[in-house]
Amino acid sequence: MTGLLVEALIKSIVLLLVLLTATAYLTLLERRLLAKFQLRFGPNRAGPLGLLQPLADGLKLLFKESFVPAQVDPIIYWLAPSISMVTALFVYAVIPFGPSIQLFGRSIPLVLADVNVGILVVLATSSIGVYGIILGGWSASNKFSLLGSLRSSAQLISYELTLGLGVIAVVLLAGSLSMVQIVEAQRDLWFVFRFPYGTVAFMLFLIAGVAETNRAPFDLPEAEQELVAGYQTEYGGFKFAMFYIGEYMSVITISALATTLFLGGWYGPPVIGRWLPGIVWVILKIFAGVFWFVWLRATFPRVRHDQLMTLGWKVLLPVGLVNVLLAAVVLALRSR
Amino acid sequence: MELALFIPFAALALAGGLGVIASGRAIHSALSLLLVLSSLAVLYLLLGAQFIAVLQVIIYAGAIVVLFLFVIMLLHMATGEPAARGVRPWRAGATVAAALFFAALLSAVIRTRATADLGVAPAVGFGTAEAVGRTLFTRFLLPFELASVILLVGIIGAVVLAKGSLTLRVHAESRAADEAEEPREEALTR
């Protein structure tokens, strides 16, 4: 019992350190990549290749004056960014990073908690994450914040449905809600290649994932030309950093989820899969997902809010429903 | 171990319940409700019902309270001014109803004498998605289908209510626009 607790504690600490560092460097990666896409240099002054830039940014945010605007609801004003960050971190408790490894004579699974409702825990956590945005926008008593948070919560609630429908197709294919078993079910063929329902579910998941993370081209909640910075407008210093960390971490989260649910988790491609250990494949796939997010931002202009809602409710949702129905019928007929 | 988790979370649930009725601002009440629902999810987890616990978070904490917050935000916009105090006779009636409900609950608990043996571990597979799904689609099929019909009626009702006022308003607006435009055309022809 104590052994298990210690193991979980060590894993949590390692996970926390790695994730926070990765998130900090994701901001640098994004700025450098965007600069490359736009034929600029990007931040390259702090340290070699600008590698110390995240450190400088972090220090600056930490030492900024902790400013609280008048007329805010103090409890909710503080609660909102914490909810955003904590829920973003919590998801990683159920995401598997590799098969079990042997260390000090015991087999250690590379996942913090292999619960048998794993994927539901992810969905539950992301549905709690909406509170950070709603409360953040509301408590600041500023019209831009309020509009941004209204937009954002409407967007999150709408696209969560599409996201869920993509996940249901995966659950049908794997026959389990456990993240580890979902990966195990992709040993021979990644779900993204299970045409048509696996592929369609993957595309739905990616589109909904971009909307869920409030990233371009679906970054209406913080459309700077109209809303200043949306729900974050009245936040500064460390509280702003918490929102920011939550947001960038969710980019990594969606990539990690796509890896686990559709891209075979720690299983590499058929022939060369054996050449590298499982955890390296997971990291490579997550990195590819993150790169795709940045690429998308550099390529597409922002859509209008009514276009976003039309796409979500009138295109993606029906496609997702038909896809789940198709997958269920085919799998039921085949299991006879 | 179980007791060490049960006591704080039961206390949190009770504190949240008090917060719901005692807070002056509607948004604090909604957040207290969120506390109640999340603590209940932990209690379900302690009972070994993990699937129900997660559903509790997804549906109640993640969807229903979010809707409450939406309504509060839109009605009280930026200020979130305290809700109007209930009318007196209503408050008295509500107190009586709550007391009656509490008495009914208490008598039900006392009559069963808490016969469930808490020391026994639940059966293997209890509380998983498979077990809940199987029970729902065999033993409780009729209540399940009835509940879904009631929900469908609720959805259709909401659409009819919203659409009804919408079409009326559109008609009224287009009529007003017609009336406004006609004289102008006359003026032009003249």
Contact A23, A250 (CB under 8 A): no
Stated length of chain A: 336
- Find the residue in B nearest to A138 (Cα): B78
Whether A158 and chain B come into contact, CB under 8 Å, resolves to no
Q: What is the mean pLDDT of residues A317-321?
A: 91
Number of CB pairs, chain A paired with chain B, less than 8 A apart: 66
pLDDT 10s digits, A125-159: 888 888 888 888 777 777 777 788 888 878 887 88
For residue A315, is it within any domain?
yes
Question: CA nearest B125 in A: which residue?
Answer: A116
Chain A partners within 8 Å of B66 (Cβ): 127, 130-131, 134, 153, 157
> Does residue A300 surpass a pLDDT of 90?
no
Chain A contacts of B80, Cβ < 8 Å? Answer: 73, 138
Contacts of B27 in chain A (CB under 8 A): 73, 76, 138
Residues in contact with B144: Cβ distance below 8 Å, sequence separation at least 6, in sequence order: B136, B137
Q: Which of A117, A128, A134 lies at the smallest CB-CB distance from B51?
A: A117
**Quick check: is A240 in a domain?**
yes
Cα A176 to chain centroid distance, Å, stands at 21
Does the model's ipTM exceed the 0.95 cut? Answer: no
Instruction: Assess whether pLDDT exceeds 60 at residue A164.
Output: yes
CB spacing of A138 vs B69 below 8 angstroms: yes
Please give the Cα distance from A128 to A132 (Å, whole number).
Answer: 8
- Our CA-based measurement puts residue A216 at a distance from the nearest CA of chain B, in whole angstroms, of 24
Contacts of B34 in chain A (CB under 8 A): 131
Residue B187 has pLDDT above 50, yes or no: no
| Of B2 and B184, more confident | B2
Please count the other Cβ atoms lying within 10 Å of the Cβ belonging to residue B139.
10
Q: What is the pLDDT of residue A1?
A: 61
Q: Which residue has the higher pLDDT, B97 or B163?
A: B97
- Beta-bridged to residue A107, according to DSSP, are A102
Distance of CA A333 to the CA centre of its chain: 34
Q: Which A-chain residues 61-120 have CB contacts (< 8 A) with chain B?
A: 73, 76, 115-117, 120
From A53's Cα to the closest Cα of chain B, the distance in A is 37
- Checking if the pLDDT of B190 tops 50, the result is no
Please answer yes or no on whether A73 and B54 come within 8 Å at the CB atom: no
| Closest chain B residue to A120, measured at CA | B54
What are the structural domain ranges in chain B? 140-190
Q: Which tens digit of pLDDT belongs to each residue from B137-184?
A: 888 899 999 999 999 999 999 888 887 766 666 666 666 666 555 544
d(CA B8, CA B14): 10
State the average pLDDT over residues B10-23.
Answer: 86
Q: Backbone phi, then psi, for A41, in 5-degree steps?
A: -95, -40
- Mean pLDDT in chain A? 82
Instruction: Give domain status of residue A129, yes or no.
Output: yes
Determine whether the interchain pair B27/A120 forms a contact, defined as Cβ–Cβ distance below 8 Å: no
At residue B178, the pLDDT reads 62
Q: Would you say residue A10 lies in a domain?
A: no
Q: Which residues of B touch A146 (CB under 8 A)?
A: 73, 77-78
B55 pLDDT band, cuts 50/70/90, is: confident
DSSP run (H or E) holding A102 = strand A101-103
Number of H helices, E strands in chain A: 12, 2
- The predicted model scores a pTM of 0.78
Q: B154 — phi, psi (to 5°)?
A: -60, -45
For residue A73, the enclosing domain spans 67-334
Answer yes or no: is A187 within a domain. Answer: yes
CA distance, residue B172 to nearest chain A CA (Å): 24
Has residue A102 been placed in a domain? Answer: yes
Residues of B in contact with A117 (CB under 8 A): 50-51, 54, 128-129
**Once rounded to an integer, what is the mean pLDDT over residues A208-236?**
76
In a domain, A25, yes or no: no
Any B CB within 8 A of A37 CB: no
With a cut of 80, say whether residue B124 has pLDDT above it: no
Q: How far apart are CA B138 and CA A322, in angstroms?
A: 26
Q: Which residue has the higher pLDDT, A301 or A232?
A: A301
pLDDT of residue A70: 75
Is A153 near chain B, with CB under 8 Å? yes
In a domain, residue A204? The reply is yes
pLDDT, tens only, A241-264:
888 888 888 888 889 888 888 888
Domains in chain A, number: 1
